[in-house]
Amino acid sequence: MSSQTDYPFKPVPFTSVNFLDTFWSPRLATNRRITLPYNFRKCEETGRIDNFAKAAGWMEGPHEGIFFNDSDVFKVVEGAAYNLALAADPELDSYLDDLIAKFAGAQEADGYLYTARTIDPTAVRADREGLTRWSHLRVNHELYNVGHLYEAAVAHFQATGKRNLLDVALKNADLIDSVFGPEKLRAVPGHQEIEIGLVKLYRVTGDERYLRLAKFFLDERGHANGRELYTNFGNPGYMQDHLPVVEQAEAVGHSVRAVYMYTGMADVAALTGDAAYIAAIDRLWENVVGRKLYLTGGIGARHTGEAFGDDYELPNAEAYAETCAAIANILWNQRMFLLHGDARYIDVLELSLYNGFLSGVSFSGSEFFYTNPLASDGKTALNRGSFGRQPWFDCSCCPTNDVRFLASLPGYVYATDTNSLYVNLFVAGEGQVEVGGQAVGLRQETNYPWEGRVRLRIDPAQPTEFSLRIRIPGWAENLPVPSDLYRFAEMDSARFALTVNGESVTPSIEKGYAVLPAIWQPGDLVELTLPMPVRRVLCHEAVEANRGRVALMRGPLVYCLEGVDNGGSVADLSLADDAPLAAEHSPQLLNGVTVIRSGAITAIPYYAWGHRGAGEMAVWLRRAN
């Protein structure tokens, strides 16, 4: 089935990149030391882990929690595996082995794994788990759960070399492959995810059955082959089952489901060369980035159905912008880059990373936003009934997603193709890459995102010829996003500057990258300087919520105003078009941030809001001419 090997551009693995900066390194350390064990502890306290012991017959009692809670445990295991890949941890390794034994015990003889049914098949409900296997896929997450199992299993196998979890995953995948297919049961999951997991199983095993099954689940959407097409909340596109995937052109429905689907389509397209898949996700990306993307990189306008809204429907206080959706947006845009080698996808990834995602995790690593609105009155309940970041949720998909994503973040910095090295993100640290068959050491020095100076030392094992391609962010080229959805109020004439070994160079620009071909010598030094003025951002007039309003950006960071810095209230504040704006670093504020001041107004990075108690917040201010 497979007609090509994989993506034409290859990410440098997270295990080959070590962060040494003051922005992300503390976050990753907190994720490892605090968030990971915290998530395991909450999974224990809430019965998520006991559910596996009960399904194994090792404990008595009913299933606890929501029927998709198995997936939370699998996601935390994936994050734990990434940490084991980076550093030995015998205690964590042993804990995972005990947990995997519970998974294996909970698995039925033929490979079936779904604790909500196995614990007590007589307690299931027709409108929830379904009375029999595979009878209520529209809702029950039966296939979604094991998609996360597959991702965790591959991560664990690659980190430890152990097959104990991989064998559980393969036994389950073989069962599902025996049940579903063109000549078998023609049905699809209500929540996409298994497609991503199946592709990972294919990559690690080489068994094309898994790739075919992933493609089947995608191709079957939008076809009523002996079943009713899925709807929910009165929305025919809620589960992206309204049209065949290759005919979809507008992002609709539940935003996480949608973007997991687009991510799976990219994976399958990379491995099969399916041009129709690529054309479809290209169209969908243009729709999202041109009409449905928040300035923070968040997606999902509606609380009802956690869904995309109509074109240009981007309310601020009512924004859903789930943290999981920001992660999904990052995963999708990384794959779009790997397909096309274009920096504009990394521009969107970076926007989501520093803003829409990062706001979802507290500095402490033990409190979380589920939704990430762009305005708040400080009183209205957010995040599933509570104001502000919360220690856990009944539906805790976001905290468990955070753990696995943050641990893998170093894998987004660099990429390669046959004879090029791509620098996509700017984070101080070290890396080991292979370009053109030669080993190349990298050392990046920068105080990004606060400063725009990046120094990159290149240390090939021997003189090596390749093209260094350094992303020039869209925001440094007067483009806050790669569409006309947002624009800077004024063009800035300052341009980036590049030097190689101290000498100024004027590189060609290809697909958003400064291209520097050379025979690189050990110790060569490349320096990039990006201008970082404070920028006013205006929105497309079709977005009703932002007409007559202005927002602030500096570098990749979107800013907001909080009441605590602005006399208690921000709802009625306005910003004059000619008001001076100044950036000032405040090392003691919010773990060290650069603030923006204009007269009595103070703005902080959006990701840092909500750390100082309940209060008003706004990204978009009234524009005073």
User: Rounded distance, CA 325 to CA 588, Å?
Assistant: 31
| Run of H or E residues at 403 | helix 397-408
Annotated catalytic residue: which of 43, 397, 398, 560? 397
User: Rounded distance, CA 429 to CA 224, Å?
Assistant: 51
Question: Among 561, 582, 564, which Cα is nearest to 573's?
Answer: 561
Torsion of CA 62, 68, 70, 74, to 10 degrees: -170
Residues paired with 455 in a beta bridge? 445, 527
Annotated catalytic residue: which of 193, 195, 306, 616? 306
Amino acid sitting at position 169: A
The three-class DSSP label of residue 396 is: coil
User: Rounded distance, CA 159 to CA 502, Å?
Assistant: 40
- Sign, CA torsion 151/157/163/164: negative
- Say how many CA atoms lie within 13 Å of 72 toward its Cβ: 30
- Tell me if residue 306 is catalytic: yes
CB 490 within 8 A of CB 441: no
Question: Among 428, 427, 425, 430, which Cα is nearest to 414's?
Answer: 425
Give me 422's structure tokens.
Answer: 């791509």
Give me 244's structure tokens.
Answer: 């065949």
Give me 90's structure tokens.
Answer: 């015998």
Q: What angle do CA 473, 617, 257 make, to 5 degrees?
A: 60
Q: Which residues contact 210 (CB under 8 A, 6 or more apart)?
A: 173, 177, 198, 199, 201, 202
Catalytic residues: 306, 397
